[in-house]
Amino acid sequence: MGRKVVIFAAGSRGDLQPCVALGRGLADRGDEVSLISSAAYRDLIEGAGLGFRELSIDPAGIVDSPEGQELLSGGRNPVRFLRNMKRIAAPLAERLLAEVTDGTDGADLVLAPTLGFLGAHIAEHRGIPHAVIHFQPSQPTGRFPHPFVPRARLLGPYANRLTYEALDFVTWQLTRPFINTWRAERLKLAPLSRVGPQRAARSALVLCAFSSVVVPRPADWPDNVRLTGFWFLDQPQWTPPAELTAFLDAGPPPVYVGFGSMQPGDPHETDLKVRTALRLAGLRGVLQGDPATSEDDMLVVKDVPHSWLFPRMAAAVHHGGAGTTAESLRAGLPTLVCPFFGDQPYWGDRVHALGAGPIPLPVRDLTVETLTARLRSLTTTPAHRARAQDLAASLNAEDGVARACESLDLLQH
């Protein structure tokens, strides 16, 4: 008889979609899988045949809020980023934690990202196993620093490892008051000290939802850390609208430009810069946004599966979310990352280091001139395309979902 598996999948669509892919893989093996997520993604989750348990917090709404915009402005400053995150999360914490508790009722296994180590608390409360999901390298290593603190690389292996411990410690100090209140009042567990749950949680199974082709496995990661490969969600039944196929048929492959759930400080000005730069580079574009703003050489789309769209593009320009980066590399696309914050600069650096695209262009530095130059490099450098296609061949040979499912099959109650 299959297990009742609950996956905590708060966050953007880029965070959710791999969890849907994993859930579908587990369900195909006989497990009963539910995702705890925003109502914005209910149709996607239920359309994949998975159970839905609602979080009343909408991540897109948070990003669009003034507080969310301040969060985005944190850039590569991890302390500022975490403080801004606390300002957003604190008023929502009691409701979020109550919904997570209710959403895991009856679970035999809980899967969750490192955020607050919620999976560890729930597993302790319910007496069930849990596994941690990493969408970016978050396991301590001396090989490279935490993606949020890239400059520490200059200080060597000891400093690299310290960045992970320091970020975990700071995150715990910011979340400890409401986590410990939740543990005491709702979970009936003893409060945790200033050291926090992270060291105990490190012994749990860790599923790294990315590929060793893109992030080579550090030799000092322990055996409980499984680098599975990316978790791709294909939607083969999706039918493109007529205007999209007509646009693609009307000329050479366009360049995709989209920033996911990220919102530039002045969306209209950024959109104008993007269109101008594409035209100066002699390129057509498929842009993410309001379809009513489409033009003859610029088709604007709202929601098109990247797995369908990207193989039909000449190149991709995006924010550098882990999921979007994986899709553009899997499609063999030369890729320019325009990061906002968090792990996005890290993925942009990886794309460039792998040779699949030019130096990242942070959104705050995006001008018509800088973007035009990057677009020309992106689309006229044969080495970018050749390297992207080499990476695509390797990524398409992997089955990250199957590897993750195999690791979870070994977990015992």
Cα–Cα distance list, 36 to 42, 245, 410 (Å): 10, 35, 23
Give pLDDT tens digits for 34-78.
999 999 999 999 999 999 999 987 655 565 555 555 555 555 565
Rounded Cα gap, residues 45 and 352, in angstroms: 33
337 forms beta bridges with: 318
Write down the pLDDT at residue 190. Answer: 95
Write down the pLDDT at residue 114. Answer: 85
Domain boundaries, the chain: 4-230+398-409, 242-396
Write down the pLDDT at residue 199. Answer: 74
130 forms beta bridges with: 110
Tokens of 102: 């209710």
Range of lowest pLDDT (158-172, 283-297, 391-405): 158-172
Give pLDDT tens digits for 236-269.
788 999 999 999 999 999 999 999 877 777 889 9
Cα–Cα distance list, 108 to 1, 215, 226 (Å): 12, 31, 21
Q: Do domains 4-230+398-409 and 242-396 have the same CATH topology?
A: yes
For the domain made up of 4-230+398-409, the CATH class stated in words is: alpha beta
Judged by DSSP in three states, 255 sits in strand
Write down the pLDDT at residue 14. Answer: 84
Give pLDDT tens digits for 283-322.
999 999 999 999 999 999 998 999 999 999 999 999 999 9
Write down the pLDDT at residue 149. Answer: 82
Write down the pLDDT at residue 10. Answer: 85
State the pLDDT confidence band at 217, using cuts at 50, 70 and 90: very high
Region at 369 (left for phi over 0; alpha for psi -120 to 50; beta for the rest) = alpha
Q: Is the pLDDT of residue 413 over 70?
A: no
Write down the pLDDT at residue 59. Answer: 56
State the pLDDT confidence band at 11, using cuts at 50, 70 and 90: confident
In the chain, what are the helix, strand and coil shares in percent, each to the nearest 5? Answer: 50, 15, 35
Tokens of 404: 């993750």
Q: Is the pLDDT of residue 86 over 70?
A: no
What is the DSSP code string of 161-221? Answer: HHHHHHHHHHHHHHHHHHHHHHIIIII--PPP-TT-SHHHHTTSEEEE-S-TTTSPPPTTS
Give pLDDT tens digits for 125-139.
999 999 999 999 999
Tokens of 340: 């906002």
Angle between helices 368-380 and 267-280 (to 10 degrees): 50
Contact yes or no for 394/326 (Cβ under 8 A): no
Write down the pLDDT at residue 89. Answer: 65
Range of lowest pLDDT (161-175, 237-251, 350-364, 367-381): 161-175
Write down the pLDDT at residue 63. Answer: 54
Rounded Cα gap, residues 299 and 284, in angstroms: 8
Average pLDDT over residues 83-93: 67
Average pLDDT, the chain: 90
User: 242-396 maps to which CATH number?
Assistant: 3.40.50.2000
Exposure letters 279-303 (e unless 16+ CB within 10 A, then b): bebebbbbbbbeeeebeeebbbbee
State the pLDDT confidence band at 346, using cuts at 50, 70 and 90: very high
Q: Is the pLDDT of residue 341 over 90?
A: no
Contact yes or no for 110/6 (Cβ under 8 A): yes
Average pLDDT over residues 181-188: 95
Rounded Cα gap, residues 125 and 79, in angstroms: 30
Own/partner long-range contacts of 180-183 (Cβ < 8 Å, ≥24 apart): 181/94, 182/93, 182/94, 182/97, 182/101, 182/121, 183/121
Rounded Cα gap, residues 333 and 311, in angstroms: 8
Write down the pLDDT at residue 236. Answer: 75
DSSP 296: T
